[in-house]
Structure 1
């Protein structure tokens, strides 16, 4: 109750709030557009700033007098610092006084009331001190933006209604991505990657699973972030049947190159359908240079919709990956990115390339191996397709925009984009910074042991029996 103050910051009156929280963070409320959140400290305190009022006279002076802008910019830091100090003092007094009064009412003992007040003082001081000593100013370079598009629930409706009005839903998704991207760019204090000519921008998608709404998301992200090309780590379809081949025709509508590898739900027929697209770059144990980046890719050795096929197990998949590493090891120029569908197969490439992209699990993850290789697994850009409707909670649409240095071809940062699943209208964009983009990449001391079994040859996945090729 005592953790609120209103302080003037430039031409605005800013409401500062402080409260307990399991996750220490700083939140800037840009209502009605959404929130920007920063992991600025480790203490169990949540600090929130919200503009409560704009003083028109001060704002008009700022726009009419260029010198006023400079003066305001110089004073904002001290204004905010003064407000934060006042907030912490007021919150501390409220916590101590409140604890003492409540204890006095409950116990009717001045000593126990004083002990309660002292406990509150020590607790608040410890939390405040921890927030001060763990404060990380650089956290503002990795914001999380969360917001809602006005009216989306009325347009989209429930999950059942979204199926009946899917065209409108697709358009809403695209509009939502655009709105959030623009707000994110306009309100975030970020390193500039979007318009930097020395940066290569790549959109990483995966596991579309025949969801037509995924194309709206991909197209909108490609335009908003001005990506140079798209990488798809597989599972374009659900069954890999001939009837699903037309889904690949949407690739040619994109205005950027589309790098693709076969997933375990994609057949060789699916692969040929993708190859038929003019802007597609299909990699199946191949290396190609796209947009200045040297990429190795290979298809998944399994085709799981065909239950009659003798699909390799996980150990055999890892062994296949270990054997295909030779293609990357001898490459000239060296490979910058390796793309596979299954992270099990992709793990064999750790220590051989700086970055490995994968999918399959419908859950985003990122990890730097001891070898220096980052393995980035993408979630499902198609919300897991029909499978995503089976769970109590819809599977979110996930994609990432990767930023590479145009000279070194090393990953510098990436934006993780997350949209609410079918029927939802939430959106979040979170920037991640590569702490050591030029780190050394070295092969592991104990490389994977190849089992003695003979793997299927590349390209062995076929159609489900009875389906046309």
Structure 2
């Protein structure tokens, strides 16, 4: 029975009022979120870096700084239903070069960074208020088609934002910078930020550490920004060559960071993703589908047939190479063969190089057949270099792994053999030797028209307990001559200069 309000009007029951209030709250929250998403971001320079600052809805609050390609760090800076995201978009080469060339300028960097952050935060606050109120009001008007509830939604959104800001201010924790949570490459190198625990825990530490962050990341960014010998065009095909991950979960963060930073078109994994090839290990493969680029994979001697089936089941963006059957990915034609030996531990006696050569000759035969059919293969892939060498003269480029030592060699017939080190730093084997194995991957640049190798960047990161980053760029001046072979001491470092290569080499090591 309807309820008569004063004056004879029909009122609403308590249930209807609750539903109306709940509907208004939902419209307000959705409109405020859409407003932040569309216009609630501010681009602002912080030192030599161009950043984007954004407020995002969050259940726990805090601050997240995304530093591509190194990863990200999270700080429990405040408790509120909003999180501050700071994305480091790019390094300004002019400002960065000026800092590196004139180290004395770092002394005033703290004040400059502090001013930049304050200006950006103020701009973000104003923009967020406008975005939240406008978004909630606009959605309220679209839903209710009356100005009064629309203005109510805008006012409620403003009240929520003020309450969130008050909560953030009341729970602000400047000491959070002393205990950041790292991910991506930064998870392996937290000392980039120095020993923050030894510094006085006051708010100015936040500014000082941010300046130090900018200082060290400037040096790391300059590693790749100052390699002038080759400038890839927008149409250049970029291939990320990885191998021998050996169940190291940190490898996925490294690969994802490199895919984002280098705008990788296709990832090629030369095998030994696993350690023992058992079914329980298969869940380790799940991140492959979300790395941001197609994934081409070949079986290694630590990968079982069950592993291969699990990789093949990951989705359309994942391609398993075997038996020389070609696949077309990112405009390139690949063919490969899985390792014929499954030797996950010493309990299995390997058949050795003769079996590898037999399988390599099968791959070479498949490559010849493709050439005869007028559909030549651009890149061949095999895990073991012994098998890969059998493709000499049949393909311009062959990729391999297995040795955990990077090398580069010209085979007969103009085939370049590139052997990648361990992108997983050897996995658990990294702790067996006196020195940790280094994490290695390479970015290959191929001409968009000819699909031939133009240049490549060799990326080396310090292993467990190390923080050194290294990038070396190489150009194949004469693809018919010369080689670069692994050193005899087994250090895992390539020998650098082959007679057919020009290269630039940069190190970036965080300051103490």
Give TM class, smaller chain. 0.5 to 0.7
Q: Give yes or no for the alignment of 1:350 onto 2:392.
A: yes
Residue by residue over 1:160-219, the C-alpha shift from the partner in whole angstroms, topping out at 9 and shown as x without a partner, is xxxxxxxxxxxxxxx9998776323433323211xx133100000000000000011100
- Retained in 2: the 8 A contact 1:301–1:312? no
TM value normalised by structure 1 = 0.56
State yes or no: 1:268 paired with 2:305: yes
Counterpart mapping for 1:55-204 below 5 A? 151-152=192-193, 154=195, 182-193=221-232, 196-204=233-241
CA RMSD, 1 decimal: 3.1
Contact between 2:245 and 2:273, CA under 8 Å: does it hold in 1?
A: yes
1:220 to 257, 261, 265: 257
Extract unaligned runs of 5+ from structure 1: 1-29, 35-48, 55-147, 157-174, 441-469
State the alpha-carbon separation in 2 of the partners of residues 340 and 207 from structure 1.
12
Distance 1:363 1:179, change over 3 A: farther
Q: Displacement of 1:370 after TM fit? A: 3.3
Any stretches of 5+ residues in structure 2 without a counterpart?
1-92, 106-188, 198-213, 482-512
Give the helix-richer structure, 1 or 2: 2
Counterpart in 1 of 2:361? Answer: 322
In 2 relative to 1, CA 155–298 (structure 1 residues): closer, same or farther, beyond 3 Å?
farther
2:379 to 334, 337, 340: 337
What's the CA shift for 1:277?
1.1
Which residue does 1:304 correspond to in 2?
Answer: 343
Distance (Å, rounded) in 1 between the aligned partners of 2:431 and 2:321: 31
Partner of 2:477: 435
In the alignment, the residues of structure 2 paired with residue 180 and residue 259 of structure 1 have an alpha-carbon distance, to the nearest angstrom, of: 33
Q: TM-score, normalised by structure 2?
A: 0.51
Match of 1:230 in 2: 267
How many angstroms does 1:302 deviate by? 0.4
Partner in structure 2 of residue 288 of structure 1: 327
How far the C-alpha of 1:306 sits from its partner, in A, is 6.4
- Tell me the number of residue pairs that the alignment of Structure 1 and Structure 2 aligns: 283
CA distance in structure 1 between the partners assigned to 2:244 and 2:216 by the alignment: 19
2:415 counterpart residue number: 373
Q: Deviations over 1:57-103 (max 9, x none)?
A: xxxxxxxxxxxxxxxxxxxxxxxxxxxxxxxxxxxxxxxxxxxxxxx
SS in 2 for 1:330: helix
Instruction: Tell whether the 8 Å contact from 2:340 to 2:355 is kept in structure 1 after alignment.
Output: no
Call closer, same or farther: CA 1:236–1:155 in 2, change over 3 Å: farther
Larger Rg: 2
Helix, strand or coil for the counterpart of 1:235?
coil
SS at match of 1:264: coil
1:391 corresponds, among 430, 433, 453, to 433
Cα pair 1:178 1:221 within 8 Å, conserved: no
Question: Do residues 405 (structure 1) and 442 (structure 2) align?
Answer: no
CA distance in 1, matches of 2:217, 2:275: 28
Higher RCO (CA < 8 A, seq sep 6+): 1
Change (3 A) 1:388 1:309: closer
Please give the alpha-carbon distance, in whole angstroms, between the structure 2 residues aligned to 1:262 and 1:305: 12
Q: Using the TM superposition, give the Cα deviation of residue 253 of structure 1 relative to its aligned residue in structure 2, in angstroms.
A: 1.4
Deviation at 1:154, TM superposition (A): 4.1
Distance change >3 Å, CA 297–CA 177, structure 1 → 2: farther
CA 354–181 in structure 1, closer or farther in 2 if over 3 Å, else same: farther
Q: Show CA shifts across 1:97-141 (max 9, x none).
A: xxxxxxxxxxxxxxxxxxxxxxxxxxxxxxxxxxxxxxxxxxxxx
State how far apart, in whole Å, the 1-side matches of 2:389 and 2:215 are.
35
Please give the per-residue CA displacement for 1:377-397, whole angstroms capped at 9, x wherever unaligned.
Answer: 000000000001111111000
With over 3 angstroms needed to count, the CA separation of the structure-2 counterparts of 1:393 and 1:232, relative to structure 1, is same
**Does residue 1:361 correspond to 2:403, yes or no?**
yes
Is the contact between residue 343 and residue 349 of structure 2 (CA under 8 Å) also seen in structure 1?
A: no
Q: 1:398 to 1:178 in 2, by over 3 A?
A: farther
Q: Give yes or no for contact 1:338–1:353 (8 Å, CA) kept in 2.
A: yes
Distance 1:360 1:53, change over 3 A: same
